[in-house]
Amino acid sequence: MSHPTKPARRSLRCDLFLGLSLVVALAVSLGLTVAPADARVADRDLYAAGARSADGPAAGKRLSGRIVVLDPGHQLGNHNFPDQINRLVPAGGFKKACNTTGTATDGGYPEATFTFEVSRLLRKRLEAAGADVIMTRKTNSEKRWGPCINVRGRAGNKAGPDHTGADLKISIHGDGNIGGGPGFHVIAPTDRKPWTHDIYKPSRRLAKVVRHKLHQGAHLPYAGYIAGGDGLDFRSDLGTLNLSDIPTVMVEMGNMRSAADAHRMTTVKGRKVYARALFRAIRAYLA
Q: Which residues bind Zn ion (CB under 5 A)?
A: 73, 102, 173
Min. distance of Cβ 66 from Zn ion in angstroms?
A: 26
**Given 111, 117, 142, 252, the catalytic residue:** 252
Task: Please give the distance of CA 6 from its chain centroid, rounded to a whole number.
Answer: 20
| H or E stretch covering 158 | none
Q: Which is nearer to Zn ion, 109 or 129 (CB)?
A: 109
Min. distance of Cβ 73 from Zn ion in angstroms?
A: 4
d(CA 216, CA 210): 10
Q: Which is nearer to Zn ion, 165 or 174 (CB)?
A: 174
Q: Which is nearer to Zn ion, 100 or 236 (CB)?
A: 100
Q: Which is nearer to Zn ion, 96 or 173 (CB)?
A: 173
Is 127 considered catalytic here? Answer: no
Name the maximum alpha-carbon separation found in the chain.
70
Which residue of the chain is nearest Zn ion when measured via CB? 173
d(CA 213, CA 176): 22
Q: Which is nearer to Zn ion, 250 or 282 (CB)?
A: 250
Strands 168-175 and 88-90: unpaired
Q: Which 3 state secondary structure label does DSSP give 71?
A: strand
Min. distance of Cβ 210 from Zn ion in angstroms?
A: 16
Min. distance of Cβ 84 from Zn ion in angstroms?
A: 17
Min. distance of Cβ 74 from Zn ion in angstroms?
A: 6
Q: Which 3 state secondary structure label does DSSP give 14?
A: helix
State how far the alpha carbon of 130 is from the alpha carbons of 36, 48, 285, in Å: 36, 22, 15
Q: Which is nearer to Zn ion, 159 or 241 (CB)?
A: 241
Question: What is the SS3 string spanning 177-246?
Answer: CCCCCCCEEEEEECCCCCCCCCCHHHHHHHHHHHHHHHHHHCCCCECCCCHHHCCEEEECCCHHHHCCCC
Which DSSP string do the residues of 92-156 spell out, in sequence order?
SSSEEES-----B-TT--BHHHHHHHHHHHHHHHHHHTT-EEEES-S---TT-----HHHHHHTT
Min. distance of Cβ 100 from Zn ion in angstroms?
A: 7
Which residue numbers are catalytic? 252
